[in-house]
Structure 1
Amino acid sequence: MRPVTSVRIAVATALAASSVLLTAPLVSAQPADEKAAPKAADTIGIYPPIQGSSIWDRFGQTPPSSHHRVFYNYGYLNDWAVDIYRNPGGTVVSPFGSKTSAGNPVSVRVVTVKPGCATGNLADGGYRIGLEARDDATGTVVGRADVMHVDKKPDAIAVGASVGPWTKLGETGRFRYSSCYQVNGDSGAHIHLEVINKTRYSCYINRGAGTTLGDETVVGRVGTQNSGPQQAC
């Protein structure tokens, strides 16, 4: 659940029950059975990392079933990735819901803050901000998300910081054309989102290219028991 207003609470409660980045391998760094082991905690919804309206896979070129995954967490290539589009100036937020499927509170902390592109130059693609979600009732770390192409990051967003569902991580931005960010216009500005479970595999909600997303649109889940990467929920 990702509450703040009564409308968001009502919609979220019903749940309970973007560029080309650096070339990266499309298979997990470790065999699936090595990433299995203990049962994950209750699931946590993944929401668009952009406040307000945004667009899922606007040009039909970055579906999570095949979109390249660039970053590693817990020693593994992330489970799935997608580009979510919004013109420059949109507020970037944490994609994690505020409660698990069982209603337990979720806390989120910043675990990574660095330039997202291999050049190390923010002008080539902005920041990569990595976030980790924990089930506060059990103390279980459930998963992480990398939010890439973040512009105008506040100084307070640093490793170790705690963030809520609506804490501003920065803004969507337009960066110079490079091997890391091949965008020719503001309509191509986007956030590249990657997600991973701590154990087993997370999943994405299968949607058609160009689908409009809102604050309470669930785009995936962590804590699920999928058997491999890039699987739909």
Structure 2
Amino acid sequence: MRISRMCARLAVVALAAAAALVPATAGQAHAVADPISVYPPIQGASTWDRFGLSGPATHHRVFSNWGYVNDWAVDIYRTPGATVVSPFGTRSAAGHAISVYVVTVRPGCATGNLADGGYRIGLEARDTNTGDIIARADVMHVNNKPSGIVVGATVGPWTKLGETGRFRWSTCYQVNGDTGAHIHLEVINQHRYSCYVSRSANTALTDLTVVGKVGVHYTGPQQAC
């Protein structure tokens, strides 16, 4: 199953390569570089912005990388117990293999208490052809992290980072009921800005649904692809 899913992701990225040849629209100058697709960080089905309160055009960005606030953020919902995975595709639009490394493992909430919101796991995507660092993603509210997920670990597209979970009510996590359980995803480019795929609240996703792009060159944060 892992092999077939991985091949499917590669096929989606190949289709994206053709789309990357379309000229950018006005206001999106230099939007196309060598894109890498971003997928939901949840294996199987999930839901985009279930309650219409956490779409990436306006959702708060909590974390920073390289001294800059991340480009965009969104909440992706799934009841507790689902497997959390890397959101990065395995190849760029140009066909370059992408490797992903763990760069952050810590409690996600400022209290430092995992019971308030689980783990923040930061991931870094690198182009293995050029050695360039392309982007990072912060995956927040992760429960039941495996012992092997530590800073420096290499992860594949289906490596388990942990599970979706439900945490106690706090200033960091305000959820009532299992339907509110979610992963808070934030994404940032190393150079210029990444983008998200705009969609309506409560849209159903699969683990092959492209939700954003990194390696693109948008002109500001919180821009739709």
Alignment TM-score, normalising by the size of structure 1 = 0.87
Aligned to 2:14: 13
CA distance in 2, matches of 1:224, 1:150: 27
Q: CA deviation at 1:8?
A: 4.6
The 2-side partners of 1:191 and 1:3 are apart by 25
Shift of 1:4: 3.8
Q: 1:74 to 1:58 in 2, by over 3 A?
A: same
**Partner residue of 1:217?**
209
Match of residue 56 from structure 1: 48
Matches within 5 A, 1:4-83: 4-5=4-5, 6-17=7-18, 42-83=34-75
- Choose the corresponding residue for 1:139, options 131, 138, 154: 131
Q: Distance in 2 between matches of 1:7 and 1:73?
A: 30
Distance 1:188 1:206 in 2: 21
1:101 pairs with 2:93: yes
| CA distances 1:53-107 after superposition (whole Å, capped 9, x unpaired) | 0000000000100000000001100000000000000000000000001011000
Measured against aligned partners, the alpha-carbon deviations of 1:2-28 in whole angstroms (never above 9, x if no partner) come to 9643545444432333xxxxxxxxxxx
Mark the CA change 1:146 to 1:122 in structure 2 (over 3 Å): closer, same or farther.
same
Question: How many angstroms apart in 2 are the aligned matches of 1:161 and 1:41?
Answer: 27
Deviation at 1:42, TM superposition (A): 1.7
User: Could you tell me which amino acid in structure 2 is paired with residue 68 of structure 1?
Assistant: H
SS of the counterpart of 1:15? helix
Structure-1 separation of matches of 2:75 and 2:84: 13
The runs of 5 or more residues in structure 1 that have no matched partner are: 18-38
Unmatched runs of 5 consecutive residues or more in structure 2: 19-30
Q: Which amino acid aligns with 2:105?
A: V
**What is the distance in 1 between the residues matched to 2:33 and 2:150?**
26
Alpha carbons of structure 1 residues 75 and 169: separation in structure 2 relative to 1, 3 Å: same
1:66 partner letter? T
CA distance in 2, matches of 1:196, 1:187: 27
Q: 1:228 to 1:3 in 2, by over 3 A?
A: farther
Match of 1:24 in 2: none
* C-alpha distance in structure 1 between counterparts of 2:172 and 2:9, whole Å: 35
TM-score where L is the length of structure 2 = 0.90
- Name the CA distance, whole Å, in 2 between partners of 1:139 and 1:200: 18
Q: 1:126 aligns to what?
A: 118
Which amino acid in 2 is paired with 1:87? T
CA distance in 2, matches of 1:132, 1:9: 19
Alignment RMSD (CA, Å):
1.7
2:184 to 163, 175, 192: 192
**Across the two proteins, how many residue pairs are aligned to each other?**
211
Alignment partner, residue 102 of structure 2: 110
- AA at the equivalent of 2:151: V
